[in-house]
Amino acid sequence: MRGAINALVAMLSVATACPSFDTGNNCRYSHLPNGSALLVSNSTKGEVCIVDNQCRALPSTATYNMIGDMSGSKYPMAFVNRSNLTLVRSTVFPTGVTDLTFKNVGFAALSEVNKWPGSLGYLRLEDMTADALPTKLPLNMTFYIRNTSFVEPISTLALRTAIQLTMSHTKVQMEPQDWTVLSDLEWSNVTIPSLNVRLHRTFSDFNVYNITIGNLTMDKTSFQYLNNTIAFVSEDSTIGGGTCPLGTLTRLWAHRNMTQFTACVLDDPTTGINHDLNLNPNLHVGSTSNTALLVGLVALGLLVVAAAAVLLTTRRKYAAMQRDFELSQAPVFPADEESGVKMDALTPFRLDVTALTLKKVLGTGAFAEVWLGTLAKDAVAVKKLKAKNVTIAQLISFVEEITLMTTFDSPYIVKLIGACWTHPADIKCVMELMDGGDLRDYLADHTPAMVSWTEKYQHMLSIAEGLVYLHSMDVIHRDLKSRNVLLSSTGGAKLTDFGISKIDVHGTMTLGVGTCRWMAPEVIEDKEYTISADIYSFGKWLSTHGIPSNDCAFVGMILSELDTHEIPYFDFKNQTTGDSVSDSAIMVKVVTGSLKPTFTTSCPHWVRDLAMSCLALKATDRPEAVQVVHHIRTKLRELAK
């Protein structure tokens, strides 16, 4: 629900002259090595500048490699694509900052920061290495950790204040964890050799995909909390199965027929985690009166801390409610407009609205978002309209999309479970949950060396089979792209997002909608088009996703982030400036047939030939979906010999 991350330096206007500092030996950064360039902002005007280790101003065009005193900054704190960046003991963040993001930065010495802002509620670490997760963070933290390595194991104290923990593509070592504040845990592609954890009854969400926990150890109470929570655990996950010398190896969620997951439940809870905080190990109480005074002071202090915590929590919850309102509410239309929405066809598919619970947003677009939800106790995907900027025409289109989905019955199309509503504007489309995410993200998260051609062939076949089914019903998808291909963690791919799909009643259509880089030439030109437009998109997908592009020929770890996030024509540059060209310029060349996606020599010849036939300029020269399926199946049989 948070917006896209922007690099801090892109948002700041670096001052040409810095505020006055004590220079020389009085400079707070004098202990740092020569060559240090610190981003600082400690003036009341919020000016940002760069100084060296003697507090001397550097040119505004200089590249900073450290973060100094940023207490005067009035900007969001997001540091992105700074491979040489690190933190120092002198790093100070603004007292009012609520979100901190570090993405693709250098070695982050997070433990070097002496004080973290009390207002901080969200810490994001992505595509980086850190020394350790900080232990002096405020209460009620939300953590987002992706593709991040820690030199030190995650400390017992580091996540003690966490209320939400999201991790993906990360392997970590953890000391025994006290998660009695934690309520929401979401992990994907995470490996933890051993986890000894204590939970609380507030723990309510446990959603994990393709995770491995070698040994899971907990006391009996924590086991009950985890076992009774509404959990979604993908079948490719591994939890437990190790030794349990101090307790009993017990199956998790056995009442839900999930018998492959186990936890070591301690017979004696005192053998688990030491949950007592030693607030001051050097304190010595020498008399009864001193003890009474100390008890009184501690009690008063606890009251003050509790009041401050309640106030801070209330403010954060209110801010979160403001951020989430637009996503969680339904649009409102006049009654006479809503009465024109045709809901009758959905009545046989209507679900009990009280049985549906929305958990969190999985993805969002201009007018709708998709949520992770539960229907009774089953995990589902839920698509709903946003509260703002939605017209009655879009509501009608959404209802038509759901109605169209009621006619589908194919293993290659995402299954509709049903719909629920109290009035038309708050209608929700409930679908099967594809826990592998979409193909675009999957390919971005994997190098070509990590995805076998055998797997790619199966995805190609599934997509083509989905098109055969749609075209047999005279339905044109019209927005076929990797973002609209969903994967299952157990294998398989299915087509989704039929918001602009239409029944091809007369064999031709002229409404030019869809994502332009995947469009067929006739769609771009707003001419009549047929189901062959989907075949062109399929050919485009073969080039940009199923097949590595030129820059994707690099194997293994040499791939850059750009290579793993390619989109059609990403390598088409302005020959004079070297800059990327606009979509409109690309569309002009696509229409004339002078531009086609890149292929590499590593591409199997038969796949490239198939893609080029799908990318034929004339629609009549493209194969039909059934021919594509036949061709793929024939080749797969040949390869199997």
Going from the C-alpha of 421 to that of each of 354, 374, 479, the distances in angstroms are 10, 16, 27
Q: Which residue reads 């307790």 in tokens? A: 247
H or E, element range at 455 = helix 453-472
Amino acid at 138: P
**CA-based R_g, the chain, Å:** 28
312, 138 contact by CB (below 8 A): yes
User: Measuring CA to CA, which residue among 20, 74, 18 is closest to residue 49?
Assistant: 18
Residues facing residue 213 across a β-bridge: 192, 239
CA distances, 554 to each of 455, 600, 602, 622 (Å):
19, 11, 10, 31
- Residue 534 CA to residue 471 CA, distance in Å, equals 9
271: three-class secondary structure by DSSP: helix
DSSP 3-state of 641: coil
Query: Do 481 and 553 touch, CB atoms closer than 8 A?
Result: no
Q: What share of the chain is helix, strand, coil (3-state, %, to 5)?
A: 30, 25, 45
Angle at alpha carbon of residue 634, lines to 631 and 637, rounded to 5°: 150
Amino acid residing at 632: I
> Considering only CA atoms, which of 585, 587, 584, 615 is closest in space to residue 599?
615
| 377 assigned binding-site residue | no
* Contact between 103 and 47 (Cβ < 8 Å): no
What are the C-alpha distances in Å from 627 to residues 154, 225, 465, 610, 632? Answer: 54, 53, 10, 10, 9
Q: Which two tokens stand for residue 384?
A: 């709903």
Going by the annotation, the residues of the binding site are: 384
Going by the annotation, the residues of the binding site for ATP are: 384
